[in-house]
Homo-oligomer: A and B are copies of this chain.
């Protein structure tokens, strides 16, 4: 199966070798789109898809994501970036060129519950998540067979709060060796240190359950059951040092009723979590998510 995935990814890279994406955030002012699109035109880059959003038009913030096609992009990219600096300076831009054929390299962190990992692997095999899954790191051995069957390296690193520092050192070394761009916490269930988080700004995606009203603290499903909620939700977000409070990428819910036990609600929650996480990851690797303060713009 894995050879099939590799081939599929290769084909995707080839097909998109001339497709780039320019992501910009800057103070809003007149003339930004004109300047950027004129630059692209003068550099032979044809716009495929342009999304733009101005938060609070006056005195606010400007966001854009431009997907473009440019002949011989592999060679031209560096030149584009160098020459774009002038435009960027003029408007005080935060900006980035991404190249679709440079697939993002993801590490999936997983604990005992496999549902989110399995969904990601599934969507990846189906051609819905165009990224390299470089490795899986887990504090349990449970998922090894499934992961290795897809020829993805599996690293077992036992973890608990007493050895957090040593565990993270091992993890960081692996992330470096495998040149990881993106960390996906697929129900990893371990708290990351502020240092670890700070080293990967807007590069760690997490998933957790959500309820209306919220049940903060222990045993949320049991409490949701006791309260007779009619909806079970999940939220996927970037990890910051405010626990479960980082910028939200995607949320969704499912319906439950009085017949559902706390255990049934957990099952329903798992179905929603895997769907929401997969969507958030997809949008991230397509460069659709721009973080601004504690919010996201999702193009």
Interface residues of chain A, those whose CB is within 8 Å of chain B, are 1, 29-34, 37-38, 40-41, 44-55, 57, 69, 115, 118, 122, 125-128, 145-146, 149, 210-214, 216, 226-231, 233, 235, 247-248, 250-253, 257-259, 267, 270, 293-298
A218 to B157, CA, bound (A): 45
> Per DSSP, are chain A's interface residues mostly helix, strand or loop, or mixed?
mixed
The reply to whether B295 and A227 contact each other, CB–CB distance below 8 Å, is yes
Assess the B297–A258 pair: CB atoms within 8 A: yes
- CB-CB under 8 A from A210, the residues of chain B are 212-213
- Chain B residue nearest to A210 in the complex (CB): B212
Contacts of A52 in B (CB 8 A): 47, 49-51
Given contacts A1-B146, A34-B34, A37-B37, 7 further A-B contacts (CB under 8 A): A31-B41, A48-B54, A49-B52, A53-B259, A127-B267, A227-B295, A230-B251
B258–A230 contact, CB under 8 A?
Answer: no
Residues of B within 8 A of A118 (CB): 122, 125
For A40, the chain B residues whose CB sits under 8 A away are: 34
Q: How far is the CB of A83 from chain B (nearest CB, A)?
A: 15
A55: chain B residues at CB < 8 Å are 258
Docked pose: A127 CA to B173 CA in angstroms = 36
B51-A1 in contact (CB<8A): no
A153 CB → nearest B CB, Å:
18
B229 and A247 form a contact (CB under 8 A): no
B270 lies within 8 A of A126 (CB): yes
- Pairwise interchain contact B57-A53, C-beta atoms closer than 8 A: no
Contact call B252/A231, Cβ cutoff below 8 A = yes
Cα separation A69 to B49 with both chains bound (whole Å): 23
A235 and B211 alpha carbons, distance in the complex (Å): 11
A33 and B54 within 8 A (CB): no
How distant is A252 from chain B, measured CB to nearest CB, in Å? 7
3 shortest A-B CB distances, which residue pairs? A228-B295, A210-B212, A34-B37
Please give, as numbers and ranges, the residues of chain B lying within 8 Å of A38 by CB-CB distance.
Answer: 34, 37-38
> Do residues A69 and B53 form an inter-chain contact, with CB atoms below 8 A?
no
B50 touches A46 (CB 8 A): no
Which one of A57, A126, A212, A248 has the highest number of Cβ atoms from chain B below 10 Å of its Cβ?
Answer: A212
Residue of B nearest to A115 (CB): B126
Q: With A115-B126, A145-B1, A233-B231 given, is the CB distance from A212 to B251 under 8 Å?
A: yes
Q: 20 A–B contact pairs at CB < 8 A?
A: A29-B46, A30-B47, A32-B47, A34-B38, A47-B52, A49-B53, A49-B259, A50-B52, A51-B52, A118-B122, A118-B125, A122-B122, A126-B270, A149-B149, A211-B212, A212-B253, A227-B294, A228-B294, A230-B250, A233-B253
